[in-house]
Amino acid sequence: MIKEIAQITIKPGMDKQFEQGVSQATPLFLRSHGCHGVQLFRSIEQPEQYTLVVDWETVDDHMVLFRESPEFQQWRGLVAETFAAPPNVHHVSKVL
């Protein structure tokens, strides 16, 4: 199991729209192959910065199966207009 870490900076004043979009998109993630959870965190120091954390069985479940699925297009359709810049995405594995 690995985690997708997506750092997302939104446009000023779009926090409610973005959070609603993530909430609406959560079922799209959860029904995708290998997805085991979605969490959203907001920076305290820089409130326009969010971190989306998605648990996947493998990197390919995210980067191949999900990215090429209609669910990815629906997810981006729900939130893309709130983004100030393209998300910064990487993957991590748990050490401790």
**Cα 74-76-77 angle, rounded to 5 deg:** 60
Binding test (CB under 8 A) with a second copy, winner from 27, 36, 43, 57: 43
- Answer yes or no whether residue 17 interacts with a second copy by CB under 8 A: no
Binding test (CB under 8 A) with a second copy, winner from 17, 59, 65, 83: 59
Binding test (CB under 8 A) with a second copy, winner from 9, 11, 33, 51: 51
- Answer yes or no whether residue 94 interacts with a second copy by CB under 8 A: yes
By CB under 8 A, the count of residues binding a second copy is 27
Residue ranges in contact with a second copy by CB under 8 A: 2-3, 5, 19, 22-23, 26, 38-46, 49-51, 59, 90-96
